[in-house]
Structure 1
Amino acid sequence: MTIALPLSRRGLLAGAALLAAPAVARAQRGRAASVTAAIYPGAWEEAFRDHVAPALKRAHNVDLEMQALFAVDQVAKFAASRGAPPFDCFVLDPGPRATAVERGMFDRFDASKLSNRALVPAGLIDEWGIGCNAQVVGIAYNPKKLPRPKGYADLFRDPWVSRLGITGFGTTFGTVSLIEIAKIFGGSETNVEPALVELKKVLPKIAAVSAPAALPGLLQQGQCDITYTNTQTVSTLKDRGVDIEFVVPETGATTFLTTLHLAKGCENVDAAYKYIDTVVSRGVQDALQKPPYNFIPVNKEVALGRDLPMRSLDEMEKFVRHDWTKINPLRGAWIERFNREMAK
């Protein structure tokens, strides 16, 4: 005779949980993970939506969510989050990166978690993050309108000065250009006074003083024919049919990196590393260097574009770099003074 013992409610629930466990596990395996990345608005956001997000989904079944924020806004938003990171990954230029490091906004970066680590030059990786795009800064000019300049000093002479377009310290490329101009007149990385003095002397002759975003349009429209800028802007204008060439100044080209970082305390660490690994992968880097994005790739297996002033990433070690821990404390005053004194 078999006696049926009464089941308690707890026993019923435990049994149901055991029966459901395999189905839950299967559902969890099929569910995509996700990562939230801060990204620059505009071309960066479009490029990452078109190329990074699909590649991340295919390779790792990770969904990419993006928050369109400029670098200073990323730092400000994280600072206001009070320990609850608003995104998993930063993307930053050197100035805001130095600020974020100083304020403890990053988790330590473990490059061993990247399958593509060996394909990125060692100099582009450190304890806080990894380069995802290189920038090279020099002089751009219209070869049909002007002779080829040798360096920054030519910008202050005829025939170049009357066709010159300038912008201030509001961007990384503008800041490093004006620092390099200051150096040729006796200044330094922390003393831009000589650059401002010389610019003020020729200000009546200069063709245009512009916001950074407007300067490419002025070059395209022929309102100015020479400026300091980066190779990405030159490539983009060439794609539009503008007559423009990039010149490495005789004092050397300047370079800086845009870098990716883990936000301090981010919850989706594994997905964040997969996202970063995808960004620096060969296929994605190759796609991002093509028009209309024109990024400089950081993956050594991707051939550099023929219009770049180097044949390999290793050559960038010879380019001029700057210490943003010294620049950051001074930059706000530089921006204010340029805007006040150079407005036309």
Structure 2
Amino acid sequence: MGMRERMRRLIVGLFPLLGFVGVVGGGSSVAAEQLVLNSYGGPYEEIIRSRIIEPFEAETGIRVVYDAVGSSSQDYAKIKATGGRPGFDVVVMTAAQALQGCQEGLLQELPVDVIGELAALSPRLSDAAGPCGAVHEVQYMSLLYRTDHVEGVPSSWNLLLEPALSGRVILPTFQNVMAVNLLQVMSHMNGGGLVDDLDPGFAAMASVARQSIGFEQSSALLDSYIRDGSVWAMPFWNGRAQLLVDSGAPVDYVRPAEGTIPLIATLSVPVGAENKDAAYRFIDFFLRKSSQEAWVEGYRVSSARSDITVPEELLSRQISEAELDQLLLPDLTVMATRMPEWSERWDRDVVSAARR
């Protein structure tokens, strides 16, 4: 094989990696249609690839570049810092960021005439996320515990304060909205509010921090502690908790009697996204009935669609739209304005109280 032929094969081999298709030598090259999806790593990445991304690519021919960097708050900070041009086309965040991004003009209002599956979602949940967020899953913050170290079935968040669990608790960092939700639940339990008068919540969280071995940002890192037995209890999203139960780990999870807060997860498109048409097609695909059934079965979460078939073993452990009134529902718009202040206080009052 001559040098010219070897170079030709090398160049052709590089084209899929560069995102181009075309003819080498006399033909024109055109950019292959693609989109960049910013989301999470760990089990989430494995499941979304097999259940959503690969079927989408096979059906549409659009290549999905997966960007598993950052938490929801960090992703939104990047969107804000870049004026809505963060380098990704679809981002997985929560309803709180979707609302904030709409208000600040950094997220695109999703076209209901293009993304037809939006009409199939619960109006109540769609309203909670606003016009810039497509609700693709619903979870709630559960109390996850080791069944081989915690006696009986706990019924209260106060398990995290039990002396027997000193040094056996771990907390999320404030960049993970689960930390904010636990702060709000603790405030509610102790006579405070969900967005106002959080003094009781910060005091309670300082006590929990003194019990903890520290803080971790991602769910993938948090679950490693309880899986290996170094942690016996912690807050955790119920879908991820169910994955741990399904894996055979000696764990279980409950919705404590004092209540909990739902996680309304959304798909959004930054205003400066380069591949908006592909982004809208991806969101529409993710929201369709068959995709939602595949996602619920794989990631063990709830859906904003009421017409899907849910595996029997999950029904009793999920939240339905009818149960939303039984949950603690903070005003997400107010939350967005208070977060910077709460973050500073978390570092001052909670992180400083953690075990050394």
Q: How many angstroms apart in 2 are the aligned matches of 1:120 and 1:55?
A: 21
Q: Which residue of 2 aligns with 1:208?
A: 213
One of 276, 284, 302 as aligned partner of 1:296: 302
1:83–1:296: structure 2 CA closer, same or farther, 3 Å change rule? Answer: closer
> How far does residue 73 in structure 1 lie from its aligned partner after superposition?
3.8
Tell me whether 121-130 or 75-84 shows the greater mean CA deviation: 75-84
Q: How many angstroms apart in 2 are the aligned matches of 1:262 and 1:45?
A: 19
Q: Which residue of 2 aligns with 1:192?
A: 198
Cα deviations across residues 33-69 of structure 1 (Å, max 9, x unaligned)? 4333322334343333333222223433333233333
The residue identity in structure 2 corresponding to 1:102 is: Q
Cα deviations across residues 7-36 of structure 1 (Å, max 9, x unaligned)? xxxxxxxxxxxxxxxxxxxx9xx9964333
* TM norm structure 2: 0.75
Tell me whether 44-53 or 252-261 shows the greater mean CA deviation: 44-53
Specify the SS of the correspondent of 1:170. Answer: coil
Structure with larger Rg = 1
Q: How many angstroms apart in 2 are the aligned matches of 1:339 and 1:203?
A: 7
> How far does residue 272 in structure 1 lie from its aligned partner after superposition?
1.8
Q: Which residue of 1 aligns with 2:294?
A: 287
One of 304, 321, 342 as aligned partner of 1:331: 342
Q: Which residue of 1 aligns with 2:353?
A: 341
1:1-344 equivalences in 2 (<5 Å): 33-70=33-70, 71-81=72-82, 84=85, 86-125=87-126, 126-145=130-149, 146-157=151-162, 163-190=168-195, 191-201=197-207, 206=211, 208-213=213-218, 214-291=221-298, 293-300=299-306, 301-303=308-310, 306-307=313-314, 309-310=317-318, 312-327=320-335, 328-337=339-348, 338-344=350-356
Specify the SS of the correspondent of 1:111. Answer: coil
Contact 2:174 2:180 in 1 (8 A): yes
> How far does residue 273 in structure 1 lie from its aligned partner after superposition?
1.6
* TM norm structure 1: 0.77
Specify the SS of the correspondent of 1:306. Answer: helix
> How far does residue 231 in structure 1 lie from its aligned partner after superposition?
0.6
- Identity across aligned pairs (percent)? 18
Contact 1:169 1:178 in 2 (8 A): no
> How far does residue 305 in structure 1 lie from its aligned partner after superposition?
5.9
1:87–1:255: structure 2 CA closer, same or farther, 3 Å change rule? Answer: same
> How far does residue 137 in structure 1 lie from its aligned partner after superposition?
0.8
Alpha carbon RMSD of aligned pairs, Å?
3.2
Q: How many angstroms apart in 2 are the aligned matches of 1:179 and 1:234?
A: 20
Question: How many residue pairs are counted as aligned between the two chains?
Answer: 315
Q: How many angstroms apart in 1 are the aligned matches of 2:121 and 2:238?
A: 20
Q: Which runs of 5+ in 1 are unaligned?
A: 1-26
Cα deviations across residues 211-244 of structure 1 (Å, max 9, x unaligned)? 2444322222223322222212311221332222
The residue identity in structure 2 corresponding to 1:309 is: R
Specify the SS of the correspondent of 1:116. Answer: helix
Q: How many angstroms apart in 1 are the aligned matches of 2:208 and 2:88?
A: 45
Tell me whether 243-252 or 111-120 shows the greater mean CA deviation: 111-120
Cα deviations across residues 158-205 of structure 1 (Å, max 9, x unaligned)? 65667544444331112101210122112222343323334545766x
